[in-house]
Structure 1
Amino acid sequence: MVVATSLDEFSLGYRGWRVVLACFLMAFFMFGFGLYGQGVYLAELQRAHGWPGTLVSAASTFSFLLTSILVIFTDDLLARIGLRALILCGLIALGASTALLGLMQAPWQLYLAYALMSVGWTGMGSVVIATVLNSWFERRRGLALSLAFNGATCGGIILVPVLLALSGSIGFRSAMLAATIVMVVLVLPVVVVFTGWPVETALNSAEGSPRRGKPARHSRKELLANASFWTMVLPIAFALLAQMGFIIHQVTFLEPLIGRASAGLAVTIMAAMAVVGRLTLGLFVDRLDPRLACAVSMISQAAALLVLLQSTSPAVLLGCCALYGFSIGNMITFPPLIIQREIGSTAFAAAMGLGTSIGGIVSAFGPGIVGLVRSASGDYTMAFAMCAALDVLAAGLVLWRPGRKAETKRNLAPSP
């Protein structure tokens, strides 16, 4: 029987790094198609079918809300059908969704495609990625998560321009079908060969680490009654609400100040800095307190927003977008690190699923709330100041540590 040790994690030959590659590809296509690509679908479906933007936007909202419900049951699905089967189901659903987006002729097919995309999120999204990497890594967990989740940002940087270029040259239908085929060809063999739970783990630190491996099913009622869970979930949800609000309204705010081209450059800089931020944090986060690092990231975003509101200098505005982007990707890296440290492995998948669901539902209102405040006040000053205030509030909440780690784990221990 193969026994994994913590020393393996520092070797390039450790199988866990191949699992990271598989998770990177999953994040690349899932976030590329399922999040960043939605702007492409909005434009192309309006152009191809003359459908109103509200119809396509409503389908996007439906998909995000359905995803937030389905991810709650990730731990149940992992226990019932297994890791590899769940990922393959997600891949099939995402492939069917993207192919249908290219082939559809009727509005009801749009909602079917977006429902399939929600199933794809359940099988290939952040909850599954965090859960499998949590089982493979202990001392390099933060780096592994950062590398894998960089696939999400790379999906936006690479896949969206490719889809736009292909749509212009060979048409939207052919572009979607070609991209779907490429996804299946790249992801399917990697998932089949590389993904799985460690055969055996016996990692013993000074405190005595729990055995890592297949996550146990866990009562969500116990998580909802746990204060440590809420002081992780609510701050992240508030920060994501502010983050989604700023991202969606960023170009609208910047274009009158610095022009369309420079506003587009600001988005590119912000996305690139998200990659840099994840890689930089990944190198050090395993030696840091994740709650403190999370609070610092939230404060940096608040500072960037406040300076953004006080300046009209293109250089300063682009610098603020770069600073803001540095912490964007890390908001989905911190939760699994906090959960593992304070709640433990036995409830990891359940806590990730429930926390992701709550954060997804709350953050979905971000763009709408920012838009309402902007309309009521006449400009973005109050709206972005509200986002900065939410970041400061979130930073204070995430530093609150109710109870001790040992007590938390004992309270969440599965019943025999």
Structure 2
Amino acid sequence: MIAASRVDESSLHYRGWRVVLACFLMAFFMFGFGLYGQGVYLAELQRAHGWPGTLVSAASTFSFLLTSVLVVFTDDLLARIGLRSLILCGLAALGASTVLLALMQTPWQLYLAYSLMSVGWTGMGTVVIATVLNSWFERRRGLALSLAFNGATCGGIVLVPLLLSLTASIGFRSAMLAATMAMVVLVLPVVVVFIGWPAATSPVSGGRTSGGSSTVPSHSRKTLLANAAFWTMVLPIAIAVLAQMGFIIHQVSFLEPLIGRSAAGFAVTIMAGMAVVGRLSLGLFVDRLDPRLACAASMTSQAVALFVLLQSTSPTMLLLCCAVYGFSIGNMITFPPLIIQREIGAGAFAAAMGLGTSISGIVSAFGPGIVGLVRSATGSYTTALAMCVVLDLVAAGIVLWRPGRTAKVLAS
């Protein structure tokens, strides 16, 4: 039983909520710089150096794939160097990456910067955030995860426009350096002061105290890969995120001929805003729901939204569909830790999150390419988005399958 079970998690004085604040800030800057900001880098590096878009895009793909490999070893790193040290390494790597992006002159520095960004994802990404919050919360775990992961969406809503505004006024180099400084000033103190395991125990080191020697977790990745419960969580999430990434990247291209560029941009804003609303709304009561049923409902709602989107030409209906679709976007990274904790257990949590995130990341990375390929082959987005509808429904069906015996035995 985690320490959180012995305290009032609803109290604002509970230390876990300060950990949530730290995780929110980590997600804000990690997703702001590491995901949403990449569109800014693409444009500014092309403008500054005349590099082809394919060069910068290839570096982004390289970074995402490298991240998917590195996160597999998150549980080993947590056990060997500790939680706070891993996060501080991630912060240092992300800061070095953004500084290098501001100062770089040659293409090889671009790949170095994106490699450092992958290290940042390993230290400050979803696996670490989910693992630390899982150890602090039991009854309010879903709300804590929803609040922390809202930092990811806010990073896109706030940080990207801020970077664009600063770039227009003081230049890309100064904008990146200023934003990096702000990240260090805001994140470093809260990580040092607030981040840690509850009751001085680490869920990835067999419950040893922080003063004792840590060992690599005994729950092997091979054991997880052989477990049906693990796959009925990982596979549907990977399929749903593949469809989700495909639609998000191609959303403007699909909507622009129908409602114009400005309205298409507004649709993206609506979708991002609804992602925040969806996380907050679900977080209020997800701890009382079956996470698999809630996950299947979210996937089905996305399928319905895309289906209606394909049938309509009304600007109002198209914007409404984007809002409905966005409501479930953020929750696709909230459900896996809830399912893992309930069915696989705390003892194998970090290992399962790392492996699951890696598999999902690799699979979903192909989403934009597959949608683009189908669109090119058929001449329109109709077949491509219909494929996304089918993928969402298939994923919803798989996540509802419950193997007779779950992997909870791994935690015993």
TM-score, normalised to structure 2's length? Answer: 0.95
- The answer to whether the 8 Å contact 2:4/2:135 transfers is no
Moved over 6 A (4+): 210-215
In the TM superposition, 1:61-72 aligns within 5 A as 61-72=61-72
Structure 1: distance between partners of 2:138 and 2:370: 39
Structure 1: distance between partners of 2:209 and 2:64: 30
Q: 1:413 to 1:278 in 2, by over 3 A?
A: closer
Aligned match of 1:265? 266
Question: Does 2:290 align with 1:289?
Answer: yes
In the TM superposition, 1:233-248 aligns within 5 A as 233-248=234-249
Q: 1:413 to 1:135 in 2, by over 3 A?
A: closer
Aligned match of 1:114? 114
In the TM superposition, 1:42-81 aligns within 5 A as 42-81=42-81
Aligned match of 1:83? 83
Structure 1 segments unaligned to the other structure (5+ residues): 202-209
In the TM superposition, 1:2-81 aligns within 5 A as 4-81=4-81
Aligned match of 2:257? 256
Q: 1:130 to 1:3 in 2, by over 3 A?
A: closer
Cα displacement (A) at 1:4: 4.8
Structure 2: distance between partners of 1:57 and 1:126: 23
Cα displacement (A) at 1:5: 3.9
Structure 1: distance between partners of 2:75 and 2:115: 20
Aligned-partner residue type, residue 396 of structure 1: G
Structure 1: distance between partners of 2:395 and 2:3: 40
Structure 2: distance between partners of 1:3 and 1:293: 27
Aligned-partner residue type, residue 248 of structure 2: I
Aligned match of 1:278? 279
Aligned match of 1:409? 408
Aligned-partner residue type, residue 15 of structure 1: R
Cα displacement (A) at 1:199: 1.1
* SS of the residue 1:402 aligns to: coil
Cα displacement (A) at 1:217: 4.7
Aligned-partner residue type, residue 317 of structure 2: V
Cα displacement (A) at 1:8: 1.9
Aligned-partner residue type, residue 348 of structure 1: F
Aligned match of 2:362? 361
Q: 1:69 to 1:3 in 2, by over 3 A?
A: closer
Cα deviation digits, residues 376-411 of structure 1 (max 9, x gap): 011000000000100000000000000234xx222x
Identity of aligned residues (%): 83
Aligned-partner residue type, residue 151 of structure 1: G
Cα displacement (A) at 1:212: 11
Aligned-partner residue type, residue 319 of structure 2: L
Structure 2 segments unaligned to the other structure (5+ residues): 211-215
* SS of the residue 1:199 aligns to: helix
Structure 1: distance between partners of 2:399 and 2:148: 24
Question: Does 2:400 align with 1:399?
Answer: yes
Question: Does 2:132 align with 1:132?
Answer: yes
Structure 1: distance between partners of 2:258 and 2:307: 16
Cα deviation digits, residues 141-165 of structure 1 (max 9, x gap): 0000000000000000000000000
Aligned match of 2:320? 319
Q: 1:212 to 1:394 in 2, by over 3 A?
A: farther
* SS of the residue 2:199 aligns to: coil
Cα deviation digits, residues 289-330 of structure 1 (max 9, x gap): 000000000000000000000111000000000000000000
Cα deviation digits, residues 201-221 of structure 1 (max 9, x gap): 8xxxxxxxx989989452000
- The answer to whether the 8 Å contact 2:3/2:136 transfers is no
Structure 1: distance between partners of 2:209 and 2:393: 36
Q: 1:383 to 1:6 in 2, by over 3 A?
A: farther
Cα deviation digits, residues 243-298 of structure 1 (max 9, x gap): 00000000000001000100000000000000000000000100000000000000
Aligned match of 1:143? 143
Q: 1:97 to 1:63 in 2, by over 3 A?
A: same
Q: 1:156 to 1:79 in 2, by over 3 A?
A: same
Structure 2: distance between partners of 1:8 and 1:342: 24
- The answer to whether the 8 Å contact 1:198/1:213 transfers is no
- The answer to whether the 8 Å contact 1:241/1:362 transfers is yes
Structure 1: distance between partners of 2:197 and 2:352: 19
Structure 2: distance between partners of 1:108 and 1:347: 38
Aligned-partner residue type, residue 58 of structure 2: A
Aligned-partner residue type, residue 234 of structure 1: L
Structure 2: distance between partners of 1:299 and 1:6: 37
> How many matched pairs?
402
Structure 1: distance between partners of 2:230 and 2:67: 21
Structure 2: distance between partners of 1:213 and 1:128: 19
Cα deviation digits, residues 23-76 of structure 1 (max 9, x gap): 000000000000000000000000000000000000000000000000000000
For the aligned residue pairs, the C-alpha RMSD in angstroms reads 1.6
* SS of the residue 1:344 aligns to: coil
Aligned match of 1:205? none
Structure 1: distance between partners of 2:171 and 2:19: 35
- The answer to whether the 8 Å contact 2:4/2:138 transfers is no
Q: 1:4 to 1:288 in 2, by over 3 A?
A: closer
Structure 1: distance between partners of 2:160 and 2:193: 28
Cα deviation digits, residues 189-241 of structure 1 (max 9, x gap): 0000000000168xxxxxxxx98998945200000000000000000000000
- The answer to whether the 8 Å contact 1:197/1:213 transfers is no
Aligned-partner residue type, residue 162 of structure 2: V
- The answer to whether the 8 Å contact 1:79/1:217 transfers is no
Structure 1: distance between partners of 2:60 and 2:235: 24
